[in-house]
Structure 1
């Protein structure tokens, strides 16, 4: 398909604004703000998408319009005047690349906490608690409503002053649609009861903003048009709300979503992750477009170009949101235009990005370590001044990324892999059928290495002799780690590792106790496999809650399996020892909180997850022969300077190790290691 005929690359006219193609990134909050301001990190993140050819980037998710809507997750402060110059700089940067910029504005209502920001009371249409954020809101009074309408107007004026192309109001689990929903609006005054009354607040806002902004400033709304909930509003009522908003003449587009988000399980149905259906609400958004005859935008796990193209070609959407996909690859549109669609780095649905916001305070892509680090890390790799001969040992995610980056730099690269297949520990986690999409992390890099002419030598268990036979200038040890067991008082030889379960080397049988003190996906994936096998499972964790290294989005699908399979979850408990008794095992359990309390479980299997220990033999063998003795100048690495000092000038090669070959971490850390080192070498 030529660019001139590709539906995705056709311009879209939205009033006076020409969007150069049909690809957008919808509003989301990466939590890159500083003190509520979109400073350089925030700006560079959006600029990269503009550089990558996107037509529209929607900032914030959402920017709050009032001080009594305290930020729940790094939200921008649209109620402060100092936001204007920051947004103007961001907008100017994106306009330079031909991308339009809008911002999402909201009052969070009950979807936040009272013990943040200025410690003002959380409010909602009715005093009904949202489980996810746990605040008990006060019922909004008429004076609250009046001031919040005025806050929406003044926030909109700031956005117009910053030069943005438009704004979008959030009505999706926040204050506006809180008034619409019978689940959250039990009022008996002019703002409750009939649909007309329940829409009164939102129309007060849109009418006041339209009056202040004039006809030439674009105003849209992201709205749930079906709460998919017996307590909430139905599809029919949601479409009626959309029709009334259109008829009011106060909005210029609808950004449609379906569902409710008051707890993690409901949120997952709105924003699905791997193992769930892709683009589940696309057809529904198309139905709203057909019913309203109005511009419709939509995003919900539309991760691939083929689906996005279908959405436009079939008239389901006017603009298609590929939001998480742009976190994985901000240059999607550019690659489509260049005929390099196959080179788009895939979103694998891991949703590390969203979970990381709550767990680590920033959105990060599981396998694009440059996203969110645009000031230091490049999305496009520059050539090195001096070409080197490099050997990378290990073809897991760290090794594959190191080889890719080094080859992009122009170095000659050989990869040595001990097994017959690339992927490392990813090959284990994809044995859980629900997580098979993670293989995209490997497949994309293998395709890139083939394009770059990098040779991968399989079934080579490399020692120093095998590595040095290539006469390298640089050796990257990415040999990963091997499963380790927690320290036990007795019975180390009686336990099974989570790796054995995932690999299928050991089949779950009878009653199984899984002790997980790593707290991430490896233990949870093993638990899911055990539970789905039909074995009786007890999951034991020494933590206050299970899997603390994993966020709420990924928690949901594990918790669903555990609930369906009647998995027993025991927290604040530690595996102390294992002994054999007859044909079974006895797991001895203790507690950090009551050292003299010991309990026993009679089980058929004890499975443990305790991270990995570095597979460091090769590194230790090469270290005394290397130019830098394996040493790294961390200050130089962080400061983006060459990080390897010459300590052994007669040696022929530099040596680094990355990923789990250093210590037990995760996929993102392994890929970040590779990128941050190899862009300097």
Structure 2
């Protein structure tokens, strides 16, 4: 197709004109462009070390053209800084061979590699690793990680300094291009913060004294690695210090001559709320929320400045570099969504980059992107989709939610003729309802990217097409994929006729008056979206949950915190541990009867309107009607599917005309990632 074509001259023109593709030097390290991935704990370590799966995850970014990948978020340097979220153990020599293999792998693609070193201090756990007490400048507990540390002695200080030096030496031995230490929230940053460090010796009190520990650590690092090795610090602005004090402290560090760059983050990370708004902003935060803070910091220092915090698109990254706000721009989560984004930029295909929608799914699922099933699975699931070696098949996909769209996309990339049938007037399925939340509109990127891809691929998309079995068979398919989603599961609830499902409530205008009771029986987003929508319309809302807290199925990625804040701000009254057993009509109102999960007591609550979320049941009508004509009776060979082996079925014969599969919520009620992962695995081998 002409749309995909580009010439070598086009590529050279992009390189000449785009500031993101200009090189940058830090000492002996020459970076081929300005885009990097910053250190994060990927959860892919095996036996405390970065082995094949860990390395392949980063190598994919190198294949995709990134200038530098920084790895090992919170890599621990010593025995009393244990792994609490599958970090790398940089405190032992056994790590070196793994790092050597890693650096060779990355350098083969012309990509630099740097490691992050830390001691977690009070963020560590006394119940992990060797079960040693957490240590900190002073005995001040962190709200998030909860350990009560003991105050460090001079002997502790000398020991930890030695740990950092030894870990740095291992980085040099391994052939890495550099390293950074981590200040924000961790031990180095804890010494800087006057709310954590209340010492009265030479390591506490004045700002100069509070910088002393960091300086001594970096003196030892420099002693171990030499002057030519790149050494920087991941430095937090306004983490216990105001902006002016943050700049003053940075000046003290800069004047020491021990540092080669500042990798700047913003704010605190010692509470769950701070973590998802400051350091790791979620979908609830605007794009690049701390870029201007980082730019203001850069004006005050001479060293190169990097920054990453929800810089999810190339346009924002380009602005940051072209305006001199940053020297290198971190696009870490953006590379989880699309590790080939730099290559696509170089080839003039920026419009094809899979967007990071900020769902933070990667925070709690081993770097898995909510809509890129290959990320973190590179050892068995390639990012690229090859054309099928077999004959072109006609594939009919029924349903254009995330699963159906992905199935159609991958089948088309395989070279098959694809027809996509959607009963509604818009593709998207339940994602359209998810986007009704005040802060989740970016989730539509999951849908729009696929619609754009299908348009480029020439897929026949038929909206407003409520297809039955005859419609499908009339298209003479070789393969049928049913992705018809699910319908609200209310029929088994006594008195279901007196309430609305969350789906129905979200597709209607909120009632003009009265109290609304919303019941959450799943711990997913839908009930909270509905409660928020009714509260914003001025209704008095009570949210009742089956679970003991909000968001039990949201994966621990911070969305539960966002909802707690939003619903509190809106005055939504929340009650927990109640199982809905019936709804009845009483004097023009609705009475909902519950059983308390902990006490067994029965409780009745009244409201003018009751909305219920109990999940969905698969819509199977078309699937069931098509099964008799399928060669596989509509079933997967699960062993082959799980192993990534193509399905193998008898050729079509009398009465058996096509392969038939169902995916997504038409198979079972699950999340977006599971649906897309299922579609991708099925279709990439067809």
Question: Which TM-score applies when normalising by structure 1?
Answer: 0.96
Counting only pairs closer than 5 Å after superposition, residues 348-387 of structure 1 correspond to structure 2 as: 348-354=357-363, 356-357=364-365, 362-386=366-390, 387=392
Residues 39 and 115 in structure 2, CA contact (< 8 A), matched pair in contact too: yes
**Alpha-carbon shift at residue 480 of structure 1 (Å):** 0.8
Counterpart pick for 1:13 among 25, 37, 42: 25
Structure 1 Cα separation of the partners of residues 135 and 578 of structure 2 = 39
Matched, 1:321 2:325: no
Does the aligned pair in 2 maintain the 1:531–1:561 contact within 8 Å?
no
Does 2:134 correspond to 1:122? yes
Residue 612 (structure 2) aligned to one of 596, 602, 608:
608
How far does residue 652 in structure 1 lie from its aligned partner after superposition? Answer: 2.1
Q: 1:298, 1:481 → 2: CA distance?
A: 42
Deviation (angstroms), 1:251 = 1.0
Task: Say which SS state the counterpart of residue 530 (structure 1) adopts.
Answer: helix
Distance across 2 between alignment mates of 1:88 and 1:586:
66
SS at the partner of 1:76?
coil
Runs of 4+ in structure 1 displaced over 6 angstroms?
Answer: none
Mean CA deviation greater in 629-638 or 530-539 = 530-539
What secondary structure sits across from 1:466 in the alignment?
Answer: helix
Which residue matches 1:236?
Answer: 244
What 5-or-longer segments of structure 2 have no aligned partner?
1-12
5 Å-filtered alignment, 1:139-150, equals 139-150=151-162
Moved more, 161-170 or 87-96: 87-96
Shift of 1:508: 7.2
What corresponds to 1:583 in structure 2?
588
Aligned-residue RMSD, C-alpha: 1.5
Superposition pairs of residues 284-323 of structure 1, within 5 angstroms: 284-323=293-332
Q: Which residue of the partner structure matches residue 514 of structure 1?
A: 518
Cα shift at 1:507: 3.1
- 1:680 is matched with 685
- Aligned residue for 1:456, secondary structure, equals strand
Distance 1:236 1:486, change over 3 A: farther
Contact 1:584/1:605 (8 A) holds in 2: yes
Structure 1 runs not aligned, ≥5 long = none
Contact 1:576/1:588 (8 A) holds in 2: yes
Q: Which residue of 1 aligns with 2:532?
A: 528
How much does 1:539 deviate?
Answer: 1.8
Contact kept in structure 1, 2:59 and 2:106, CA below 8 Å: yes
Give the superposition deviation at 1:68.
Answer: 0.9
Give 2:565's aligned residue. Answer: 560
Q: Secondary structure at the match of 1:288?
A: helix
**Are the equivalent residues in 2 in contact too, given 1:369–1:668 (CA < 8 A)?**
yes
Matches of residues 183-582 of structure 1 in structure 2 within 5 Å? 183-227=195-239, 232-270=240-278, 271-354=280-363, 356-357=364-365, 362-386=366-390, 387-485=392-490, 487-488=492-493, 490-507=494-511, 509-550=513-554, 551-582=556-587
Cα distance, 1:47 vs. partner? 0.4
Q: Give the match's secondary structure for 2:599.
A: coil
Q: Is the 8 A contact 2:262 2:306 kept in 1?
A: yes
The equivalent of 1:44 in structure 2 is 56
- Contact kept in structure 2, 1:629 and 1:647, CA below 8 Å: no
Offset of residue 552 of structure 1: 4.3
Between 505-514 and 202-211, the greater mean CA deviation after superposition = 505-514
- The DSSP-based 3-state class of the residue aligned with 1:61 is strand
Q: 2: CA distance between counterparts of 1:675 and 1:87?
A: 32
SS at 2:481 equivalent: strand
Distance in 1 between residues matched to 2:573 and 2:470, nearest whole Å: 50
CA distance in 2, matches of 1:428, 1:523: 11
Q: CA deviation at 1:643?
A: 2.6
Indicate if the aligned counterparts of 2:417 and 2:459 stay in contact, CA closer than 8 A: yes
Contact 2:134 2:147 in 1 (8 A): yes
1:309 and 1:326 map into 2 onto residues whose CA distance is 16
Which of 126, 145, 148 aligns to 1:133? It is: 145
User: Counterpart of 2:650?
Assistant: 646
Q: 1:55 aligns with which of 62, 67, 77?
A: 67
**What is the rounded CA distance, in whole Å, between the counterparts of 1:256 and 1:335 in structure 2?**
27
| Contact 2:211–2:253 (8 Å) recurs in 1 | no
CA displacement, residues 45-72 of structure 1 (integer Å, 9 cap, x when unaligned)? 0000000000010101111111111112
Compute the displacement of 1:647 (Å).
Answer: 9.0
Q: How many residues align?
A: 670
Task: Go from structure 1 to structure 2 and tell me whether the alpha carbon gap of 1:515 and 1:410 turns closer, same or farther (over 3 Å shift).
Answer: same
User: How far did 1:169 drift?
Assistant: 0.5
Partner secondary structure for residue 126 of structure 2: coil
List per-residue Cα deviations over 1:537-584 (Å, max 9, x = no partner).
222222232211112421222111122122222222211211111121
- Tell me how far 1:509 sits from its aligned partner: 4.0
**What secondary structure, in the 3-state scheme, does the structure 2 residue paired with 1:199 have?**
helix
- Give distance in 2, aligned partners of 1:110 and 1:237: 22
3-state SS of 2:270 partner: coil
TM-score normalised by length of structure 2: 0.95
Q: 298-307 or 641-650, which moves further after superposition?
A: 641-650
Q: 1: CA distance between counterparts of 2:414 and 2:163?
A: 50
* TM-fit CA distance, 1:527: 2.2
Q: Cα distance, 1:528 vs. partner?
A: 2.0
Among candidates 620, 626, 634, match of residue 622 of structure 1: 626
